[in-house]
Amino acid sequence: MSEEIILKAESISKSFGGVKALQNVSFELKRGEVLSVIGENGAGKSTLMKIIAGALKNDKGEIYFEGEKLSLKSPLDAVKKGISIVYQEPNIFADMSVLENIFMGNEVVSRNKTIQWTKMYEEAATALELVGLSGDILHLTMSELSIGNQQLVLIARGIYKKCKVLILDEPTSILSHNESEKLFEIIADLKSRGVSIMYISHRIPEILRISDHIIILRDGCLTGAAVPKEATEESIITAMSGRSINMSVYEERKQGEKDILEVKNLSYDPLFQDISFGVRPGQILGMYGLVGAGRSEIARAIFGETNAQSGQVLFEGEDITHMGINQAIEKRIFYVPEDRGAQGLFDIHPVRDNMSVSFLDGLSNKFGIINKKKEKQLVQENIEKYSIKTPNQDISVNSLSGGGQQKGLICRWLLEKPKVLILDEPTRGIDVMTKAEIHKYVIELAKEGVAVIVISSDLPEVMELSDDIITLYKGRITARFDREHVTEEDILKNALNLKEE
Ligand SMILES: Nc1ncnc2c1ncn2[C@@H]1O[C@H](COP(=O)(O)OP(=O)(O)OP(=O)(O)O)[C@@H](O)[C@H]1O
Ligand SMILES: [Mg+2]
């Protein structure tokens, strides 16, 4: 790695109203290195990245790029100079082709202003090759790709022009194990070509694995730097939060004798086939499989959002196969979806509405009138409990940090006592400290007799929380294990459907 500094930030500050998102942050990025930025939810990571990528303006401070003062008018301006970003909340155009997504707003035009499709095809195919995808997918719409491949297309978009600095804001939070591995290979390849990478993730083991340098943000201030050789997971967590925390939360507990929820031979072609399992009160059942294995689709069918074609769902012995969401909620079967953008949050509504369970009967009187004071108080308690960084309950939820939005969504459901709770990727994008808090809370619920199903692509999370673990591959259950008798290898083998040699 050369020691040449490609990008230098000096005393960057940025406020949003009264929120000081960044204060005097300085760092240097060398050519061909991976510099990771870590910090709790709301620490200012994405804000810093958006400033470097020209999507936000800093209030104070300077950025130097290749030795010259950098002044960016727009993200496109940054791309032209060689700085690209893949945002934390991916902005894809689902109904447009992969090709159009790669070139959005940056089409190749000839002098007489006609779009040069052939040239664009060639350039795009080359970019896709760099991320291990075939040019054949260029005519597909984005929605036809798995989330993992969509992410790779966004990375291809980032690097197709002479990219010198690539910013990846939590790229692995939506990727499965294998897709993450593929990404790490791509990163190594880019590095060897001299591309510098700024990398954000809440998964500390991967940070330690792929970074050359690490900087730590806390409440908008740079509080430390580390090199992976000398750091441990514990030392990083302490630097991030100013305290050490215990990530092991599992506790033995009493479980019901009989299944409260039984799924029998449930099928919905081509999404999943012949799914059978049961979960007991007080039991935590983990579901592990690659993105696209059918996990969320099964959850949605149980919750009544979709109707399976055949098979049965029984709740306390009663057939609820064809019930809708409202009846499921009435029976206290809750589903917290993975995609907070599309299904979970009401973007422009205030934080309070998003965090409140006022649509359930807990907060309304017998005439259905909501007790506003109680609602406000409960929401405030949760804001504090999950340390959600927000100036007040009235600002719109999309100005929270990525993890802040996720916390808001989760605790809305945890406020109310469920009987069956299905959590789909519950800690995606959540910092390790809060993740441990949410895990503890899930264990508490199970102790109170709630049957919990946790769908997660985060293998350590599945192994930490679950009493039993089901693995899925292409819409079918491939194995069920209990926590006493399972290894990481068993789970991966079955989720990837690798047969014994
Ligand atoms: N557009 C905005 N308007 C108001 N406040 C904002 C806006 N964008 C960010 N903030 C605030 O700035 C702070 C830093 O947010 P940022 O998104 O940079 O955090 P982060 O470190 O990326 O967190 P996460 O790990 O959750 O993604 C937060 O308090 C956030 O609520
Ligand atoms: Mg962020």
Which tokens sit at 347? 């973007």
- Residues with CB under 6 Å of ligand 1 are 16, 19, 21, 39, 41-47, 88, 389, 399-404, 431
pLDDT by position in tens, the chain (length 501): 457 999 999 999 999 987 899 999 999 999 999 999 999 888 999 999 999 999 999 999 999 999 999 999 998 899 889 999 998 877 788 889 999 998 877 777 777 778 778 888 888 999 898 888 899 999 999 888 877 888 889 988 888 777 899 999 998 887 777 788 889 999 999 999 999 999 999 999 999 999 999 999 998 999 989 999 999 988 888 888 776 667 788 988 999 999 999 999 999 988 899 999 999 999 999 999 876 778 889 999 999 988 889 999 999 999 999 888 888 888 989 888 776 554 455 555 666 666 665 445 555 556 656 677 777 787 788 788 777 777 777 777 677 777 777 777 777 776 667 899 999 988 888 888 888 888 988 898 899 899 999 999 888 899 999 999 999 998 999 999 999 999 988 998 998 887 654
C-alpha of residue 429 to centroid of ligand 1, in Å: 13
* Closest ligand, as measured to the CA of 431: 1
Let me know how long the chain is. Answer: 501
* Closest ligand, as measured to the CA of 404: 1
Strand partners, 169: 200
C-alpha of residue 303 to centroid of ligand 1, in Å: 32
Atom 8 in ligand 1: residue holding the nearest Cα: 399
* Euclidean distance between CA atoms 318 and 139, whole angstroms: 47
Q: Which helix (H) or strand (E) holds 47?
A: helix 45-52
Atom 6 in ligand 1: residue holding the nearest Cα: 399
Which CATH number does 253-332+418-501 carry?
Answer: 3.40.50.300
Where in 99-195 does DSSP place strands (E)?
165-169
Where in 137-209 does DSSP place strands (E)?
165-169, 196-200
* Euclidean distance between CA atoms 468 and 206, whole angstroms: 26
* Euclidean distance between CA atoms 405 and 81, whole angstroms: 32
Atom 16 in ligand 1: residue holding the nearest Cα: 44
The domain 5-241 is placed in CATH, from the list 1.10.1040.10, 3.40.50.10320, 3.30.1120.80, 3.40.50.300, at: 3.40.50.300
C-alpha of residue 201 to centroid of ligand 1, in Å: 15
* Euclidean distance between CA atoms 83 and 54, whole angstroms: 9
Give the residue, out of 19, 48, 88, with the most ligand 1 atoms within 8 A of its beta carbon, to mutate for a pocket test: 19
- Contact by Cβ (8 Å): 309, 318: no
C-alpha of residue 47 to centroid of ligand 2, in Å: 7
CB atoms within 10 A of CB 246: 7
Atom 24 in ligand 1: residue holding the nearest Cα: 41
pTM for the predicted model, two decimal places: 0.77
Give, as one character, the DSSP assignment of residue 340: I
Return residue ranges of the chain for CATH 3.40.50.300.
5-241, 253-332+418-501
Where in 135-292 does DSSP place strands (E)?
165-169, 196-200, 213-218, 221-226, 261-268, 272-279, 284-289
Dmax (CA) for the chain in angstroms is 75
- Contact by Cβ (8 Å): 171, 155: yes
